[in-house]
Structures are given as C-alpha cells and as structure tokens.
Amino acid sequence: MPFCVAIDGPAAAGKGTVARAVASEFDLAYLDTGLLYRATGAKTYEGLSPIDAAQSLTADDLARDDLRSGDAGQAASRVAAIPEVRAALVDFQRAFARRSGGAVLDGRDIGTVICPEAEVKLYITATDEVRARRRHAELIASGEDVSVEEVLENLRERDERDSARAAAPLIPADDAMVIDTSDMTIDEAVKIVAQIVSQAM
C-alpha cells in the first residue's frame, strides 16, 4: 500500500535528519529531493543548460561528494526556480512517493505539488539563527571553512529565492502540520514526528 510522508520546510530546519530517522524506524524508502536540484545545479558547471542537466540526471550524478556545500545549495536554488527543470524531475518524485512499500520525501514542494494526497504532511521549520548554527556545525564537520554569518546569509538568500519563485514556491500546504524545532533537539523532533506517523499508519 502506498503511504507517503511529505516533509517540507526551509533550508537546514532538520528535515533531512528527521526524515531519514523516521524512514528507518518505519522501514519506508527515503528520498532527499534537494539532492536532485543540487545535482542539476552541479551539472550546469560542466556547460549543460539547467534543463538539459535535469533531463539527463542519473544516479551517478546524485553520488557526487561536493553536493552538500553552500555553493551547491545556491546553484540548486537557482535552477529550482526554472519551471522546465522542476517539470523534468516531477515524474520520478511522484513515482517514488507512491511506491508500494511507502516513502518519506523531504523538500520544498512535496505536500503542495509532488504528493498533495500524502497521508502525513509536515512543514518543519526553525528560526534563521538556529538553522544557521546547525548547518554551520555540519559544514565544519565536513571540512568546510565557513563562518556562521556566511551560512546565515546563504540560508536567507536561498529561502528568499525559494519562497519568492512562481514555480512551486516554499510554502506550507494548507493542511500541513507545522513543527517548529527551534527549541527542540533533533531527537525530540524525531520522536514527535514518529508519533504522528505511527498514528497515521
């Protein structure tokens, strides 16, 4: 039976960590849809147009090790504003969302565009400062040399672009449950989401 958990929200709100943990707990497949846009953005550096990059995306493109950087996030949010790029990535995401064993997807438009009929719809957020501190810690751990202020500026620029675009903007679905993780540990957020998912199953 298809069972979809749709998790949207701004950059570095803890969506990925929560989504991964819940997928593992309930034995659901997990798709980080941001990776599709990051890989598309990275391919444009090889001279491909954003649309060609999205249309020719392969599993190998998603395995690059430079996709988590701040620059890759910016490139992703620029290509993500192009309607044809989004259109090229829709079918794969929709099929994933409705796979028979159930799935968790996180991104910006999962509850609004990719899987509006999702059994669980969440919008996970946190203050800009909390998100910047969390992402900064991740980037430092992965060896990037960057300040919290730079990370904060990068997140705000990306959120503004993602919220302002005409195509599938970042916005909570009308029927999404909004969870603010500013004052929670990630473990607490995982517990809350796991409870919501188990009640919907």
- SS3 state at 86: helix
Interface size with ligand C5P, residues (CB under 6 A)? 14
Nearest distance in Å: CB 30, ligand C5P: 13
Position 134 contacts ligand C5P (CB under 6 A): no
Do 168 and 116 touch, CB atoms closer than 8 A?
A: no
Q: Do 163 and 48 touch, CB atoms closer than 8 A? A: no
Q: Which is nearer to ligand C5P, 159 or 190 (CB)?
A: 159
- Binding status of residue 40 toward ligand C5P by CB under 6 A: no
| Window 70 to 89, contacts with ligand C5P (CB under 6 A) | 73, 76-77, 80
In sequence order, which residues have a C-beta less than 8 Å from that of residue 93 and are 6 or more positions away?
A: 31, 33, 36, 105, 107, 110, 114
What's the min distance (Å) between Cβ of 65 and ligand C5P? Answer: 15
Q: Is 173 annotated as a binding residue?
A: no
Enter the tokens of residue 4. Answer: 């979809």
The helix-helix angle for 34-44 and 83-97 (nearest 10°) equals 140
130 half-sphere exposure, CB direction, 13 A CA radius = 14
Letters for 137-166 (x = contact with ligand C5P by CB under 6 A, - = none) are: ---------------------x---x----
Site residues (vs ligand C5P, CB under 6 A):
11, 33-34, 37-38, 73, 76-77, 80, 107-109, 158, 162
